[in-house]
Structure formats: structure tokens, C-alpha cells
Amino acid sequence: HYTELMLTQIKVSKQFLVYLTGGVICAVLDIGIMQGLIWFELNYILATTAGFFLSFLVNYIFHANLTFKSITTPTSFIKFSAVVCINYAITLSFVFIAYTFFNYALVGKIISLPVIAINGFFLGKLWVFK
């Protein structure tokens, strides 16, 4: 029983590392798009939205195929979309607060990343791709 528990922990740890790798790739894409659009003087909320949703498809494909080794289905896509909407609301809240208090949206974006990473992993594992 102890060995089985340890193997489960190792599997979850490796899976979480793969999840984080995909998250980092998508975060770089997301932040790059957001900052680029802000540099071109697009409103920070629109820039945040564009970055978040343009990295969405890459994120879904990565996690379905590599992190959770699941077949993509319309149901998993809808569930993943719901998780993304939740994470979007969390991200936008952090960005709004950071912009309001520091006049710098990127601070909020970076602070939101660990929160949405943990939320996304557990909802992905236990609900979207189970």
C-alpha cells in the first residue's frame, strides 16, 4: 500500500511538472501578446483579454495531449473553456487591482499565475480530463 501511494505521488508530481511546463509556454505567449498590445497602446483590459484567449487553444491542446493524455472531445473542450473563464476572471481581477494601485498591469498578471496554475491543474485533473 505504501509503495502504491509513493508511485501515485511520483506520477502526480511528474504530471504537475508537465502541466507547469505547458503553463510556462502559454504564459510567455500570453504575456508577450499582452505586453506587445499594451506597447501598441491598446487598452490594458483588451490586451489582457487578447493574450489570455489567444494562448487558450495552445493550452488546451498541450494539456489534453501531454499533461493528462486524454482524447479531446467537445465535452472536455467545454469544461476546459469553463475553467479558462474562471481563470480569466481571476487574472483580470489581479490585473485590475495592480493597474489601479501601481499603474502596471504586468504585476497583476504575474501574481495571478500561481493561483490560476493550481486552480487549472486540479480542475483539469479532477473534472475536465478525468
The DSSP secondary structure of 31-96, one letter per residue, reads HHHHHHHHHTT--HHHHHHHHHHHTHHHHHHHIIIIIS-----HHHHHHHHHHHHHHHHHHHHHHH
Give the contacts of 56 (CB within 8 A, at least 6 positions apart).
81, 84
- In the predicted structure, residue 95 carries a pLDDT above the cut 80: yes
* Average of per-residue pLDDT values in the chain: 90
Cα-based distances in Å from 89 to 6, 26, 45, 58:
36, 17, 11, 19
In this prediction the pTM is: 0.72
Position 2 scores a pLDDT of: 65
Interval 26-76: pLDDT, tens: 989 999 999 999 999 999 999 998 998 889 888 999 999 999 999 999 999
- In the predicted structure, residue 6 carries a pLDDT above the cut 70: no
CA distance 74 to 66: 18
Split at pLDDT 50, 70, 90, the class of 19 is very high
Position 112 scores a pLDDT of: 94
Position 76 scores a pLDDT of: 96
